[in-house]
Amino acid sequence: MKRDKDMLLNIKKKLKELLPFEKVSFQAEPQIGQFRPDFIASIYLKNEHFKLLGEIIEKDSSSLFRKSISQLKYFVNQEPKYVPILISNYFSPKKQEYCKKNEINFLDLSGNVYLKYNNIYIEKIGFANQYQERRKGRNPFSDKASFMLRLMLKEDKIWGVRELGEKVGINAGYVSRMFRELEKLNYLVRKSGKGELIHRKELIDDWVRLYDYRKNIENKYFCLAKGPEELFEKLKNLKIPNEVEYALGYHAGAHLISRHAIFNEVHVYVSNKISFNFFVKEMKLKRVDRGANVILLFPYYKHSVFFNRQKIRNLWIVSDVQLYLDLYKYPLRGLEQAEHLYEKRLKKLIEAN
């Protein structure tokens, strides 16, 4: 990939700023046999002279991160005279540890750096991300775009642009743009003009990292009931009209699908004020600040949250993917339940390929 000249100049500058080298000679996009790294930096420090071979990750993608590490490891195994280093705007603590585990040096433009070679050991970490990515209209994890991901994760096949667009009710031009973005993030490959998801585990990892359940709007209520099971029975006994769209989420939804963690609050997604008012009235809910056992949610994902919802025990529940997104960072045993759900339900779906 052709690298931006300004970024290469910035990397050269950061190498000099963050690493105490006496001299740095920088070569962008060299050709070494069949391999074309992003740069080679000849380093001089006291009695040491070595060559850093660098790969640059410009997009925040776990798939690109793993791919770049594999490329560096493969090349330096063939050419051990080079010292591998990975460059990006920011490496999270988790990615920093992964680099160390794989014996890959790293430097990010936010100030974190790790270099281990012969008698040289440099480590400066703990700096926050100075380059928060703003995805806006090209975000494949947005409400609208996630319709595509939800269907492509559920149905493991090669999708045509128009076919996928018709299935999820999105115009072909938008699908095509999202295909290009997913390609750049190394989550999609083209086959005869069609698209297939790849590296699905890394994709779901990136999605859950960027998703924030706190963006759902909570409305806390108390309903006279001995516990969640009695609340489920109350919901089942309601005569819910067709115009009332809802789905259980968080622990309540996960409990009905794959029971694991103990919980007290029943979260119910509602699509609009009509649905909201129906449950308040029919369940005789009382608004409270403390001691809530029913939480009505206006979803952050206003449309896609109900996509692929499922019916269990005559109650609507959001999809397994949505449950995983909501639970992963939820403080009250959420991660525990999310991991259980992944092992029991999602693993065979996500890691099938």
Closest CA to 320 of 288, 346, 302, 289: 346
The secondary structure of 297-339 as a DSSP string is: EE-SSTTGGGTT-EEETTEEE--HHHHHHHHHT-TTTHHHHHH
Tell me, yes or no, whether 232 and 341 share the same domain: yes
Tell me, yes or no, whether 35 and 64 share the same domain: yes
pLDDT confidence of residue 2: 53
Half-sphere exposure of 300 (CA within 13 A, CB side): 15
Q: For residue 252, what is the domain's CATH number?
A: 3.30.460
Tell me, yes or no, whether 346 and 227 share the same domain: yes
pLDDT confidence of residue 123: 94
Last residue of a domain, one of 124, 146, 164: 124
Mean pLDDT score of the chain, rounded to an integer? 91
How confident is the model over 304-349, as pLDDT tens digits? 999 999 999 999 999 999 999 999 999 989 999 999 999 999 999 8
Q: What's the whole-number mean pLDDT along residues 29-47?
A: 83
Closest CA to 176 of 140, 122, 220, 133: 140
- Contact residues for 307 (Cβ-Cβ < 8 A; gap 6+): 146, 147, 150, 151, 168, 319
How confident is the model over 265-297, as pLDDT tens digits? 999 999 999 999 999 999 999 999 999 999 999
pLDDT confidence of residue 208: 95
Tell me, yes or no, whether 253 and 338 share the same domain: yes
One-letter amino acid at 87 equals I
Domain count, the chain: 3
The secondary structure of 240-277 as a DSSP string is: --TT--EEEEHHHHHHHHS--S----EEEEESSHHHHH
pLDDT confidence of residue 15: 81
Considering the domain boundaries, does residue 131 fall inside one?
no
Q: What's the whole-number mean pLDDT along residues 193-204?
A: 94
Tell me, yes or no, whether 262 and 191 share the same domain: no
Tokens of 33: 């046999």
Last residue of a domain, one of 183, 210, 237: 210
Tell me, yes or no, whether 147 and 117 share the same domain: no
The number of beta carbons lying within 10 Å of the beta carbon of residue 42 is: 14
Flag whether pLDDT at 33 surpasses 80.
Answer: no
pLDDT confidence of residue 45: 78
Considering the domain boundaries, does residue 291 fall inside one?
yes
Tell me, yes or no, whether 55 and 150 share the same domain: no
Tell me, yes or no, whether 240 and 333 share the same domain: yes
Tokens of 208: 């859950």
Tell me, yes or no, whether 219 and 325 share the same domain: yes
Half-sphere exposure of 77 (CA within 13 A, CB side): 8
Percent of the chain with pLDDT over 90: 76
Cα–Cα distance measured from residue 213 to residue 352, given in angstroms and rounded to the nearest whole number = 27
Considering the domain boundaries, does residue 79 fall inside one?
yes
Q: What's the whole-number mean pLDDT along residues 10-37?
A: 80
Q: Are 106 and 96 in contact (CB under 8 A)?
A: yes
Tell me, yes or no, whether 219 and 341 share the same domain: yes
The number of beta carbons lying within 10 Å of the beta carbon of residue 309 is: 18
One-letter amino acid at 149 equals L
Confidence of residue 46 (pLDDT cuts 50, 70, 90): confident
Q: For residue 156, what is the domain's CATH number?
A: 1.10.10.10
Structural domain range at position 310: 213-350
Considering the domain boundaries, does residue 130 fall inside one?
no
- Contact residues for 161 (Cβ-Cβ < 8 A; gap 6+): 172, 175, 176, 179, 193, 194, 195
How confident is the model over 62-103, as pLDDT tens digits? 999 999 999 999 999 988 999 999 999 999 999 999 999 999
- φ/ψ of 86, rounded to 5, equals -110, 135
Kind and range of the H or E run holding 121: strand 120-124
Last residue of a domain, one of 210, 238, 256: 210
pLDDT confidence of residue 188: 96
> Higher model confidence: residue 51 or residue 16?
51
Flag whether pLDDT at 137 surpasses 70.
Answer: no
Flag whether pLDDT at 136 surpasses 60.
Answer: no
pLDDT confidence of residue 247: 98
pLDDT confidence of residue 8: 77
Considering the domain boundaries, does residue 341 fall inside one?
yes
Q: For residue 36, what is the domain's CATH number?
A: 3.40.1350.10
pLDDT confidence of residue 171: 95
Flag whether pLDDT at 29 surpasses 80.
Answer: no
Tell me, yes or no, whether 190 and 254 share the same domain: no
Tell me, yes or no, whether 150 and 74 share the same domain: no
Considering the domain boundaries, does residue 129 fall inside one?
no
